[in-house]
Every structure is written in structure tokens, then in C-alpha cells.
Structure 1
Amino acid sequence: MLAHSRIVSRKLYNLNTIRCFSHLPLSVPIKLPNGLEYEQPTGLFINNKFVPSKQHKTFEVINPSTEEEICHVYEGREDDVETAVQAASNAFENGSWATIDPFIRGQCLHKLADLIEKDKEIVASIESLDNGKSIQNARGDVQLVINYLKSTAGIADKIDGQLINSGSNYFNYTKREPLGVCGQIIPWNFPLLMWAWKIAPALVTGNTVVMKTAEATPLSALYVSQFIPKAGIPPGVFNIVSGFGKIVGEAITTHPNIKKVAFTGSTKTGIHIYRSAATTLKKVTLELGGKSPNIVFGDANLKNAVQNIMTGIYFNSGEVCCAGSRVYVQDTVYDQLIEEIRAAAENVKVGDPFNENTFQGAQTSQMQLTKILEYVDIGKKEGATLVTGGERIGNKGYFVRPTIFSDVREDMRIVKEEIFGPVVTISKFSTIDEVVKMANDSEYGLAAGIHTSNINTAVKVADRLKAGTVWINTYNDFHPCVPFGGFNASGLGREMSMEALNGYLQVKGVRAKLYD
């Protein structure tokens, strides 16, 4: 989703920043800012155990709110990917997971959700520490993780084939079978939620997994992975190789024994993965970038619309692939609404993620902070009006004021290009045809919002928008039974719901001739 494993790290990482610790422990004690204490796994997770990388290299993990080091974790290389793929292949071939009663797979996923739920405050705190998002946003993510694992567990035994009638002389049927070893590459903006969105459909359908977490935010996925064996999932079924995209991501994408790659991240990286995976004809699903329109009609409940605009762009510090970063307001309420949006943005609490009143925490990296501020300068030079925000807060931590631009043209870069931060543009429209044309004038097609009290308007406009998800009188409102994914440059395939399972299954047709 909520994108992006942009294969960047907290600082301007390159491979020279990696250190070698021959005796780095496989877990380290960490005291969280809210006083909670826990043991953070630091190893790769292979065959249900945390292990050091073969070359014993590590990389640092930075707290984006303080710019201080949290810890180091082991950094995998190609040989570690090979070990993980072998473990996953063995687990798939021995039938300990792929051929068992699907109901048992569902029970394991449900148990995994229960284990996370019992520890959810620590899990949310790790996510907030590592990513920089507010604790209230992190708690929401963890609840979505629990809900999705339980929802997917409930459909484990409902993956059916069909009988095909071709006359009395034949018995025909189809089976939907797992693919085998699946590679998964997840992003830094929703580290734990994307962990769940990826592993749940892969595991419930009987596949095994080798995953690369984002190098900027590996901690929460490593922590919850300790629950995998406790949930009854056999060794080798799920594996994590922490590391960098150019090494671990590339090794996963091109490995001949990996049958499918799932990636959430930037469109540019997604295209590269799509091309690389083609060399071994892998199945591919991609959840990529977005520049989503959020449309407000004059008859909308304006109070609710303003709140949904705030959620649409400032939730998760704006680091959301489906963020409603282009707001279109009908001319009859434009002047009123732009003032209300400005006031609401200036009242957004930005700062310490562990402050219970904070809504917008830190940006996840120095690189992302720099990119956002560069786009603010671009918007000013293009002639847009800076209504509010557009500056860094303080000198420590990657904090940005919620930012609004008005008086924009549709050809401006701040309107066309994904900024991936708390920056929104506001445009005026008069008619349905006008706003539909503007909303669809994008290479992306991930999501859209419509705010109106007229159900006829809502349905007709939703039908005309080129977006994989359309929210009506709400925004960034996810449910495990509703599919999520994009049109056009926003990707291929879907997350969540029964639709997500199709990316991890292949269909076998069986035709038997019957004799008298």
C-alpha cells in the first residue's frame, strides 16, 4: 500500500555504511520511549530460527524522530538468499505445509494473529520507534494486521476448484494449487501491515516465502516473526533476509527457484522488478505509486469532508501510496473549504510519535525529508500559492509542517508527481465532466475519494474514475474483505480479499475419460 520500499534507507545509505560485527548477538535489549522494554531480534529468520548472516555484516537502524541509532541488524547477501530459498523449497516439497488440511493452515494464521494481539502495545511501539509514525497511527496498523490475518485464516478452507460438464464420457475438474516459493519485498512506510498483507495470502494458499524487509524499517517484522513457530507454522515456510534492494531484492527477483514475486514500492523499482522477473517467467504482483484525487462536491458534508481530507493526506505523515494528494473542490464551496482545510492543517499535532496527542510523526528518512522540501521549492517556483506549511520543524528529527498549495495548474510537477509526504494541492472545478477529466489525468490509478450527499453523483463518478479503490465519504478506510490495488502505473494484482489469493495460486485442469 500504502507504498514504498523505495529501496532507500534512513540516511543516504550506501554499502560502505555497513559494518562488520563478528559477534553481534541475535537479539538486543531495547527500552522504548514509553518505558516498555523488549528483546529485539537482529538475525535473519531462516528455518524458524534467527541466524547471523554468512558474512556477518550488519547495518544500523535509525530512529527518525531523534536521528539516533536504535541498533544494528544482520545484513543478508546473495548466499543468505540461497540458504533461505533452499529452506523454503524443502518446506514446500516435503508437504509439511502445502498439502496439509487447509483448515489447519487457517488455524495457524489465526494463532499468529492472537500472539500479535497479546503483544500489540509493544508491537505498535516498535513500529512507531522504527518508522517515526505516531503511536496512534501505529496502533491502527497493528489492529489492521490482526484483523487481516484472522480474516484470511477464515477463508483457508474455501479455496475450491470446480467440476466441468463435457458429457457423460468424461470426468473433468479443476484444482487451485500453490505456486511454490514466493519472494516478497515490502516497504518502509507500513512495515508491519505490508508484512501481513504479503504473508497471509501466500501462506494460507500453501506457499512458502522468502521476504526482504525494507532496510530502513526491519524491526517490527523481525519481532513478530518470532511468533511463526509458536503459531505452529513449520520450519522453512516463512523466512526473512534483511538487506538492501540491489543485493537481496535482486537475488530474490531473479532466483530460478522462486516462482512468484510480490512487491510494494515505487513504480520505477516495480518496472525493474517486472523486467527482471520475466527472465524466469515468475508470476508478479506489484502495488506501486499513486497521485490520488480527492473530490469534494458542493453538497457534501463539509465538516466530514475536511476530516477525510486530513486523514487522506496527513495520516502516516503523508507516506501513503494512496494518499489523497490532489484535492478538487467544487467552485460553490471552494473559498469556504480552502480556509477550513488550512485551519485544520495548522491544528494537526506534529511531533514526538509517542505523545498520545500526536497525529503526524516524523518522515521515515533524511532522504524523504529532503525530497519533500525540494518539492515545496518546486511548487513555489512553478507559481503555486503556499497556503500553509512547507518547512521543517526543528533541527533534530525528520519533521515537516502539513503543507497546502492552491492556485495550481494541472501540468505542475507538484500536481503530477508523487511527493510521498504531507503535501496536498487544491484545485477548483465546476462540473462533473471537468473534475473527472482532471482526476483521470494521471499516469497513476491507485485510489480516489468522492464527497457528496447525492448517491447518484457518487456512483456515477466512481464508475468513471480510473482507480483501483474509490472511497465515498471516507478516505484511507481499509477493510480486509475489500480488495486494494491499482490501475495503470499503480500496479498489477490486488491485496486483501479473495482477490489477493489469486496471485498465489495456479489452476490445474484434470480430464478423465470414463469407460463402460
Structure 2
Amino acid sequence: MIDLKEQTRLSLARPFQLLIDGRWTDVESGEALDVVNPADGGIIARIPAGGGADIDRAVIAARRAFESGPWPSMIPGERSRMLWRIADLIEARKEEFAELETLDNGKPIMMSTWVDVPASVAALRYWAGWCTKIAGETRAVDLPGEFLAMTLREPVGVVGLITPWNFPLMSAVSKLGPALAAGCTIILKPAEQTSLTALRLGEVILEAGVPPGVVNIVTGLGAVAGAALAEHGDVDKISFTGSTAVGKSLIGAARGNLKRLTLELGGKSPTIILPDADLKRAIPAAANSIFLNSGQICVAGSRLYVARERFDEVMEGLVKAAAKFRLGPGLDPATTMGPLVSDTQRRRVMDHIDSARGEGASIITGGNRVGDQGYFVDPTIICNVTPQMRVAREEIFGPVLVATPVDDPDELAALANDTEYGLSASIWTRDISAAYRLARKIRAGTITINTGSVAGPNLPFGGFKQSGWGRENGADGIESFTELKTVVTAL
């Protein structure tokens, strides 16, 4: 176990408040939520339990900042410098952010240090570059006379950002970056389980000089603060990452003012290993795809399809790979798999495993809760699963892999598509032509060939079917925070 840095201890010791209109303020109700360390179930802090009144104050501040504040009309280069400044400040405090993320979420400290924080910094710098590149076009007018016609990209307005608990800091900056670059003003509602880095990010945003009201942060329950934000009539757009069930509820909440929605939702992503695949690469990649971050990844390769002639070999390799993961508290540098984020999530994962047992599936490794403290579940591989079983159809969001042998390669596309989701897929083969043809048949937003998950702020990300609406990242991501205006002038 490592000792916390002094700044991390100070961060945890201070009273937490909401960030509204450039000031830290108490919650209207005076209520608070416990922040629980998933490694041992202990309470490490308390955060404000924001409600409808707090959301209303934040929206009023964001609307005022958008309509009469300097941010939307600020020259693009100045917005860019502020985003870059936020990135610099996070980087200067990378150890503190990493420790807060690990304490809050449970993930291994090495992952927070070398993945979450650096990726967040890189994303902000990427979006800083976009500030000067948002532009419209000139268009021809096919009518008698002489015209100048142009399109303009303008900020959509006040946006609500609702982020998940699996990658708290990364998710926050991946939404804040394009929204700020586009000139929007923001209310950020982080997941109630993991709000510590969002609140620390608020301090950094103020230090960077972002004007009051541009970024407001309201912590609280999704069913209370999140719902109030989604339903608010003066919010122009919601960008949400989370479960498909909650995403569907947001559609109804948006009806009042037809606010724009970007929904990055669930997945049940297939990993496909063809007969000629390089198993020395495919097996560890398949294991990491489902076991990293304790399987709490929306693109986790939770369904595995393997050519039958290689199935036993792949299973043997995966069992060995699963055994190499060392479970423990995230702050222990030796830990490679931390706990699940909460007792609720642990019980949900175990319910799926128990359901598979009851339906006759075979647990070939794992399948157990680990330890008396914390929310640990060991890496689990399940075989002899029928397509109708819950573990084969529902998103589990834990370290649970469902493996199936396949006799006919022509069935792979149908098997991969036999889900209500369509977020990602991974194909392993030496035959690139076969991989490409299969990729064209699979209905998913991101497909990788001979590699695990690959993501970045420049790569469009989102899903088909019930995996969501719209795309984040890249040009598509920033355009989702704009409105397109046409201006025609007769000469």
C-alpha cells in the first residue's frame, strides 16, 4: 500500500461544495452523500447531494454566461489557451488526480496514473486545437439573381453533461473539451459514486481563468440532480454516457423543449478469433478486453466467439491469463484488478453469474466474490451458454466473459449482431480481406482488427442500435455542440 500525497489528503479533508457561477456554494437542502472506498467499503468523504433547486441555480448561471458573458464571443485563440491551461494544471497535479480517481473508483493506481490522467490531458489539448477550426462554408444558390450564401457553426447554448463512474475524469474532459471549444456553457453532473475528480477539476477550471458561469458542477443522485438537469426547459442539449435504460428515460425528459441529445450507452461487444489468428496476441488482448478496469468498460469484449478447432487452446490460454490478474486495493502498486465500483454493482455482477449457473452454464474459472471487505469479483469465464441466457444478452459491466465455439465462419456476423447493442467488435485473423468483409457485416460503431480497443479524442466514438445516438470525438463530436445556421444575402 502507498501513502497518499499531502495534496490528496488536503483534498479529501476540505468540505466539498457545488460550483455555481464561479463560486463554491452550499447545497440548498444541506444534504450530503457518502463517498465510499470500493476497496474496503469505508467512507472517505461526503459530497453535496444537489437537487432541483441547485440545478436551477446552475442553469441560470450558465444561461447568463451564454447570453451576456464573454465566453461565446471570446476570440477562439483565447478559449484555446484556457483549455491548454486546464490541461497543464491537471498534468502538474497528476499524482493527486490519479490517487483521487483510484480512491473513488477502485481502479489500479498504475491505470489512473498512466492511462486516465494522461489521456485526459491529451484530450483537452486536442480540443484546444479545435477552437480555431470551427467554420462554416459558402454555398451556391440555384436561383435567378446574385447571392452570397454561407453556413455558420454556432454554439448550441447551455449544455448538461452527465458522466459515468467507470472513467470519471476522462469522461468529464471528453465532454467538457468540445463543449468549451464550441463556445457553450455547461452544467456538469458527475456520477454520484465518483465525483471527487470532477470537483477537483472545478478548482482547476477556476484557476485557469474560465469566466464565472461557464462551467458549473452539481453533484448528486442521478435520479434527482441528473433528472432535473435532463428535464430543465432552459438546457439546450444533454450529453450522457451511461446505461441504455437511463438513456431511454432521457428521451422522454428532452421532449419538453426538444433539447438535443447525445447518448453513449451500453454494449455487449464481441471478440472474434478466426482459425488462423495469432493466438500469442489474440489471447492476452481478449483477456484485457474484459478484465481490465474490472470489466467496467462500455466496449468490453464480453462475448467471445472462437473457431471450434482453436477453442480449447484459447480457453486454456484465457484461464492462465485470468489467473495472472492480482486483485487488491487500487492504491497497492502490485494490484492489476481492483474492486467493482460499489456493492450495488458487485451484487449485480454476481446475480448474472448465479443466473448462468442456474441456467446450466459452466463456470470454467472464477465466478466468486473475493474477500470479506470491498467489492471484489474474480475474473470469470463462462462456457456452455445458449443465446437466450441473461449472461449472453445483458450488459453485465464486470469481469465476466461468455465464450462460445463456432463451427461455421459464415455464422459469425449473425452471432455478432445477435444483440440489441452495437458499440464495438474485435476481429483476430491473419486474413485481412476476411476481416474487412466481416467488419462490413457487423453493425457496430467501432471495429478493431488484430488489436484490442483503440480510442482517442480524434476517433469518432458511439454505437449502432441501442448503444446510443450520435458520436463523440473528432469533427463529429464538436459539431454535436453546435447549431448550423444558413445566411443568404442578395447582392
Give your verdict on TM over 0.5: yes
**Could you tell which deviates more after superposition, 165-174 or 463-472?**
165-174
1:153 and 2:125 aligned:
no
Taking the aligned partners of 1:34 and 1:303, their CA distance within structure 2 comes to 37
Taking the aligned partners of 2:431 and 2:27, their CA distance within structure 1 comes to 58
1:460 to 433, 437, 441: 437
1:218 and 2:192 aligned:
no
Taking the aligned partners of 1:43 and 1:172, their CA distance within structure 2 comes to 48
Cα shift readout 1:227-273 (whole Å, capped 9, x = no counterpart): 11222311110011111122211111111110001111111111001
- Which residue in 2 is equivalent to 1:111? 85
1:414–1:425: 8 Å Cα contact kept in structure 2?
A: yes
Which consecutive unaligned segments of at least 5 residues does structure 1 have?
Answer: 1-31
1:44–1:51: 8 Å Cα contact kept in structure 2?
A: yes
> How do 1:200-219 residues align onto structure 2 when only pairs under 5 Å count?
200-219=177-196
2:105 to 131, 148, 151: 131
1:48–1:228: 8 Å Cα contact kept in structure 2?
A: no
Query: CA shift at 1:473, angstroms?
Result: 1.5
- Which residue in 2 is equivalent to 1:401? 378
Letter in 1 for 2:297: V
Taking the aligned partners of 1:49 and 1:489, their CA distance within structure 2 comes to 39
2:330 to 348, 353, 358: 353
2:23 to 49, 67, 81: 49
SS at structure 2 position matched to 1:387: strand
SS at structure 2 position matched to 1:154: helix
Query: CA shift at 1:383, angstroms?
Result: 1.3
Query: CA shift at 1:306, angstroms?
Result: 1.1
Query: CA shift at 1:181, angstroms?
Result: 0.5
1:35 and 2:9 aligned:
no
Query: CA shift at 1:278, angstroms?
Result: 1.5
Query: CA shift at 1:49, angstroms?
Result: 2.2
SS at structure 1 position matched to 2:47: strand
1:311–1:476: 8 Å Cα contact kept in structure 2?
A: no
Taking the aligned partners of 1:82 and 1:470, their CA distance within structure 2 comes to 41
- Which residue in 1 is equivalent to 2:73? 99
Taking the aligned partners of 2:129 and 2:82, their CA distance within structure 1 comes to 11
- Which residue in 2 is equivalent to 1:11? none
Taking the aligned partners of 1:279 and 1:84, their CA distance within structure 2 comes to 19
Which consecutive unaligned segments of at least 5 residues does structure 2 have?
Answer: none
Cα shift readout 1:408-432 (whole Å, capped 9, x = no counterpart): 1222111111111000011111333
- Which residue in 2 is equivalent to 1:475? 452
Letter in 2 for 1:75: A
Letter in 1 for 2:116: D
Query: CA shift at 1:73, angstroms?
Result: 1.2
Taking the aligned partners of 1:488 and 1:455, their CA distance within structure 2 comes to 26
1:83 to 57, 79, 82: 57
- Which residue in 2 is equivalent to 1:271? 248
> How do 1:357-368 residues align onto structure 2 when only pairs under 5 Å count?
357-368=334-345
Query: CA shift at 1:48, angstroms?
Result: 2.3
Give the count of matched residue pairs. 483
- Which residue in 1 is equivalent to 2:426? 449
1:137–1:315: 8 Å Cα contact kept in structure 2?
A: no
1:70 and 2:44 aligned:
yes
SS at structure 2 position matched to 1:258: coil
1:382 to 354, 359, 362: 359
State the Cα RMSD in Å: 1.3
Query: CA shift at 1:33, angstroms?
Result: 5.0
Runs ≥4 in structure 1, deviation > 6 angstroms? none
Taking the aligned partners of 1:430 and 1:288, their CA distance within structure 2 comes to 31
Taking the aligned partners of 2:95 and 2:284, their CA distance within structure 1 comes to 26
Taking the aligned partners of 2:41 and 2:247, their CA distance within structure 1 comes to 29
**TM-score under structure 2 normalisation?**
0.96
Query: CA shift at 1:95, angstroms?
Result: 4.0
2:370–2:377: 8 Å Cα contact kept in structure 1?
A: yes
Letter in 1 for 2:75: D
Letter in 1 for 2:162: I
2:101–2:197: 8 Å Cα contact kept in structure 1?
A: yes
SS at structure 1 position matched to 2:376: coil
Taking the aligned partners of 2:282 and 2:465, their CA distance within structure 1 comes to 27
Query: CA shift at 1:112, angstroms?
Result: 0.7
> How do 1:240-319 residues align onto structure 2 when only pairs under 5 Å count?
240-319=217-296
Query: CA shift at 1:76, angstroms?
Result: 1.1
Taking the aligned partners of 2:327 and 2:224, their CA distance within structure 1 comes to 36
SS at structure 2 position matched to 1:278: coil
SS at structure 1 position matched to 2:236: strand
- Which residue in 1 is equivalent to 2:410? 433
SS at structure 1 position matched to 2:370: coil
